[in-house]
Every structure is written in structure tokens, then in C-alpha cells.
Chains A and B, each alone.
Chain A
Amino acid sequence: MTAPVEIAGLGYAYGEGELRRPVLRDIALTLAPGEIVLLTGPSGSGKTTLLTLIGALRAMQEGRCRVLGEELLGASEGQRVALRRRIGFIFQQHNLLGFLTAQQNVAMSIELDPATSERARLERATAMLAAVGLSDRGASRPAQLSGGQRQRVAVARALAGDPGLILADEPTAALDRQSGGEVVRLLRDLAKRRGVPILLVTHDPRILDIADRIIAMEDGRIVPTKQAEAVPAP
């Protein structure tokens, strides 16, 4: 099995000419299949930028970045759009479509697959909602759900398309401690069961225990890692 994410010598800078400001320098990172990796670090260290590069949401500038077998350096917009379909994203905000029900929101991540029928999509969405413990809320709109429930729908949506990789940026930031913990553990369980690797950016020390590995970033570089178990409880 090849690694779902292989990065070497990745650099990235915002701005042009005089205003050019490098934010990532010589990043090397490999995710093993099924591995759950947490990315931490001070604000402004470049975590989000790295995540958007891996997620093919931004064009690469230098280095090598191979995600799910696709080289991202020099990839066209069309190739990046196609790759995104194979990645599940979970954002800080749930970003569900307000005019769709929970079930329809989850089904949206499969609608791009032309080989699925409407029935198969809805069944799949229902099953995914059941897996996140929301089998009775399929017909609810996001506005009728609690914050934790919305984020669980977002987890179901990210997983429904059978992604090869899950990228999450502070998914618990908008949640209280209890529901934040529930959501990431749910995410971890579902991902582990399918063998999907997760790269999760977080500042939240309460969820560090879900990680197989913790990576710290500082000023655009990855600093030598400690073991997950070694992270002290606050």
C-alpha cells in the first residue's frame, strides 16, 4: 500500500515580489494508510495553508506533494477538482447547505459520482446519518440541529463519498467540550473502521488522545515530534 500523502521539500509563500512572504519551508510529511495525525502549532505557523495545499484547494508552488497517488505540483484546476472529490473535508464551521435537509446535505457528496442512482445516494446518506447517531434527524434542516449535531452531519458528509483521506481544520473550535469530544471520537471510529487516514489541525488539547501521531509546526516548519502519549494534559 502506498502512502496516501507523501510530501517532500514543500514550500509556499503568499504575495508577489516585494510583498512575498514565505509561510511554509521545506515541509516533509508522510501519512501512512489509516493513520490519524494531529497537526498543532502556534497561530500563524502555516497549518491551514499546509492543509489547503494537501486538499488541492490551492495551487502548489514548490516541492513534491503526492496525494492519493496524484502529484499536485503543476496539477491543472480540473485535476485538482477531481482529486477533491476523493477527499473528505471537515471545516471549523459545519458549512452545511441551509436549504437542504441533513440527508440531502450528506447526499451532496455523492451526487458528483455519475454512476450512483438517486435511491442509492439517499440510502447511503441515511446509513451515514445512522452511523453518526442521527438516524432520526435526516429530514431536519441544519437550522433545526444543535451545533454538535450539525458537525456530526458534516462528518457524515465527509465520509459518505468514501474518501481516501480526511482533512479537518479545527473541527471542534465551534463546539463545547462535550460535543467536540463526541464528534472527533466519532470521526476517529468511522475512519478507523474504513482505514481512512485523517490529518486534523487542532488547538484543542482535549482531543490529542485520538491521535496515532502528533506533528507540531512552528514558523512554517515541522518541528521534531513527540509521541502522542507524551503530550501532557493541561
Chain B
Amino acid sequence: MNAHARHPPVPAATPGYLPWAPELTGEPSPPPVARSPRRIDPAAALWLPARLAWRQLRAEKARLFSAIAGVMFACVLVFMQLGFRSALFDSATALLASFRADLYLMHPLTVVSFKPETLPRVRASQALALPEVAQAVPVYLAQATWRNPVNGTRRPIQLVGFDLEAGVMDFPGLAPLIPALKQPDTMAFDLRSRPEFGPVPALLADRGPFQAQVANRRMEVVGLIEIGPSFGADGNVVMSETNFRRLVKERLVSQVDLVAIKLAPGADPAAAAARLRAVMPPDVRVFNGRELVQFERDYWEEATPIGFIFMFGSIMGLIVGMVIVYQILFSDIASHLKEYATLKAMGYSNFYLGRAVLSAALILAVLGFLPGFALSTALYDFVGKGTFLPLEMDAERALGVFAMIFTMCATAGLLAMRKLRDANPADMF
């Protein structure tokens, strides 16, 4: 047995070696690591645990890819929910957002533009009395049935009537049509109306102005303007005040839905609005364009469950993503408890290992967000074309979603970190 006899102590102390150092073969001993008095590098305190986390993630490709897929899934879900939400709100207010006047008067009891409370027409003339007001035109809004000129189906369409020549309201494409729209029984069609109204732009290009049936009356489509479909109406037509009155006979001329005001050049909109509020009777509320759109948006956000539905969808996506990330980090720790305990025995603190777990979570956030962002951008384009919803990726939303995904992964990391306490270095022996 004892074939390896113990070596007798080396009598003379070799420099660097203790006197009892055995069988020195002349092979140089590795130099001790240089402990220079260099200052502690705070970047290393973040970088080293992050590198450890990345090496661990990278080692198990299948687990890494399922984690990335989970984050990506959450990311796409949140992007789609938020995209739909804002697209619906944008489209809900498309008609009002396309108005180009400076100020608007509306009845204070109106809650949403497609069910307006009327206000007296004389408020327009009263507004004109103020020197700041250059023009004030009554606007009439109503819905009527449109018959598809090709297959005869009927759908409700939004009618907008006002004094075209006053130049207060403007829509893209309207100006050159004004002379034609002064003829009796004419109208301009919104080219972004949904296709169910018929291929109106194609028909116009094909055979010029043609007859279409609105509210059981034949009217001539003389040209195209651009507004966009909204919640209340899938399509719009614009016509002169006179033609509107012919079409909607039950409406009293003296009752208007909105008064659009153009201010004199150089007038301060805020001051003018304040003066209008002061002089107008209490059946009038004064808005500027932004306030009018926001007012309409608030209705859809607060009075309908739409906002809640999409918020709920986003939160579900984040929770599912968090559970996936948590599961992966947790099982990563659980299956490497021995290794974590060894690191603790080597002097790694809980705090250091916690930083490694958190780094893993944040690496997953970034790795999942990037493809999720790319996929969502592609889906916005694809789905936007299919639904006519204005789905567009913008930097603000991208940053917002990244912040959510980051928080989601960080939460998962913080939860999974508790598992580190189970790694007890005293159990290692």
C-alpha cells in the first residue's frame, strides 16, 4: 500500500517555498495573482454577474429559445392590444380630427358626436359679433342609409353638411370640388370609407360623376375627399348645407350640431375661447380642435369597456410572459442548486448571485423584445391593411412596451431569486 513514502523535509528553505516543501522538480510555481491596489471597478460588479448569467443561458439552447419565445409572445400580445386600442380610439375620432377650424361650439349635453344635442343656429351669428371671430359656420351632422351602387346592400353612412364657401371647414380634396358641390343633390364621398359602400373611387374614375342612393334620394357623387372611417360610421359623405337640408327633411334649419369658428389672423385662440365662454349662454360649450378630439376620445375610453378590454389583454400578456420567464429562471436555479451553493462556498454573496439572476431576466427581456418588436411591426402592417385600422408603430409605444417587458422580466427575476436561498453551502459536503 504505502508505495508513496513520505518525502523527508527539505532542509534548506528555497526562496518562496517553505522548508518542508516536497519533491521540487524545478518546475516554476504559477505566480500568485497580482493584487494591485487598483480601484474597484463598479462596471465589473455589474458586468461579471451578467456575463455569468449569459454563459448559463447560452449553455442550454432549448431553454433559452423557449424563454425568448415566451417574452416575444408577451411582447407581440401587448403591442397588438395597445395598437388596436389606440387605432380604435384614433378611428373613433377620425371625423372630428379631420376638421380644420380654430374653435368649436357644441351643446354641453352632447356626449358623443354621432348623437349630438343641437344648439340654436343663432349662436353662430352671436359668435361673429366678437372681433376675434372671422367666420362662424354651422355644421350639420346626421346618419343616413347608403345603398351600395353595385350590389344594392344598405349601410349607415355619416353625412356632414356645412357652408362650403366659408372656408372654415376643410378636408383634403374638398377645395376643387366646391363649384360642383354647389349644384343641387351632389355630394363628395370619403375615399377611405370601408369597401362595403361599393367601389366608389373606381366607379368615379371609370365613368365620372354618377348617381347613388342616400336616404332614399338619388344624389350625384361628384368627387372624393379624405376623412377615414370612425366608430360611429364606416363611411362619410360631405355636402353643402342646402343639399343636407334637402336630404334630411326632418331637421330644423335653426338647430345645428356644431358651430365651427375661424379666428381673425393674429387672434389668440385661448383668449378668444375665454371671451366666447364669457358671452355665450349656458347652452354652449367652447372647444379648440384638440379638446374636441379628446372629448370624443374620453367618451370611448370611459363610457365603453373598450379601454378596459385592451388593458386587460395587455396585462394578461404580461402575466403569461412573466410566468414563463419565472418558470425558466426558477428551474434554472433549481437544477443548478449545487453549483450555486458551490459559488456561495467560494465566497459569492447572495447579492452577487441575485444580480446574476436579474441579469438573466433582463437579457431575456432584450432578446425577446427585439424579435417581438420586429414581428409586431410586420403584424401592424399586415393587420392594418386587412382591417382599415390606423395601426402604426411609433417610438413612444415601442419604448413603453419595452419598459413593460423589462419590468415583467425584472419581476420574474426578483421572484425567482428567492430560490437562491435554498442553495446552502453547508449542505455541499
Contacts and interface: CB of A to CB of B under 8 A. Distances in A.
A234 B1 contact: yes
B343 A98 contact: no
Given A58-B426, A85-B347, A185-B4, A128 B342 contact: no
Most B CB contacts (10 A, CB to CB) among A52, A96, A161, A193 go to A193
What size tier do the contact residues of chain B reach? 35 or more
A195 B426 contact: no
Interface in B37-67: 37-38, 40-41, 44-45, 48, 55-56, 58-60
B279 interface: no
B30 interface: yes
Contacts of A93: 338
B31 A127 contact: yes
Interface in A9-68: 33-34, 48, 51-52, 55, 57-58
A193 B345 contact: no
B304 interface: no
B38 A99 contact: no
Interface string B333-359: 000101101111111110010000000
A193 B342 contact: no
Contacts of A99: 55-56, 58-60
Contact of B345 (A57, A185, A192, A195): A57
A189 to B, nearest CB: 6
A149 to B, nearest CB: 18
B345 A84 contact: yes
Given A91-B429, A104-B55, A114-B45, A34 B20 contact: yes
Contact of B29 (A121, A131, A157): A131
Contacts, number: 134
Interface string A94-126: 011111100010001111111110001100100
A11 to B, nearest CB: 17
B306 to A, nearest CB: 47
B342 A91 contact: yes
A113 B35 contact: yes
Given A85-B347, A131-B30, A98 B59 contact: yes
Interface of chain B, main secondary structure = loop
B56 to A, nearest CB: 5
A193 B425 contact: no
A15 B32 CA distance: 42
A121 B31 CA distance: 11
Nearest to B59: A99
Interface residues of A, number: 63
Nearest to B424: A57
Nearest to B22: A192
B202 interface: no
A162 B33 contact: yes
Given A98-B59, A114-B44, A193 B29 contact: yes
B36 A115 contact: yes
A115 B33 CA distance: 10
A34 B13 CA distance: 14
Contacts of B428: 57, 89, 91, 95
A115 B35 contact: yes
B339 A98 contact: yes
Most A CB contacts (10 A, CB to CB) among B48, B342, B348 go to B342
Given A83-B347, A89-B342, A91-B428, 13 more contacts: A55-B345, A57-B425, A95-B342, A99-B55, A99-B58, A104-B55, A115-B37, A115-B40, A116-B35, A121-B33, A188-B22, A189-B22, A209-B6
26 contacts: A48-B429, A51-B429, A57-B426, A81-B344, A83-B347, A84-B346, A89-B345, A97-B343, A98-B339, A110-B33, A115-B37, A116-B34, A116-B35, A120-B34, A124-B31, A124-B33, A127-B31, A161-B346, A189-B22, A193-B21, A193-B24, A195-B18, A201-B429, A205-B1, A209-B6, A234-B1
Interface of A: 33-34, 48, 51-52, 55, 57-58, 78, 81-86, 89, 91-93, 95-100, 104, 108-116, 120-121, 124, 127-128, 130-131, 157, 160-162, 169, 181, 185, 188-189, 192-195, 201, 205-206, 209-210, 228, 233-234
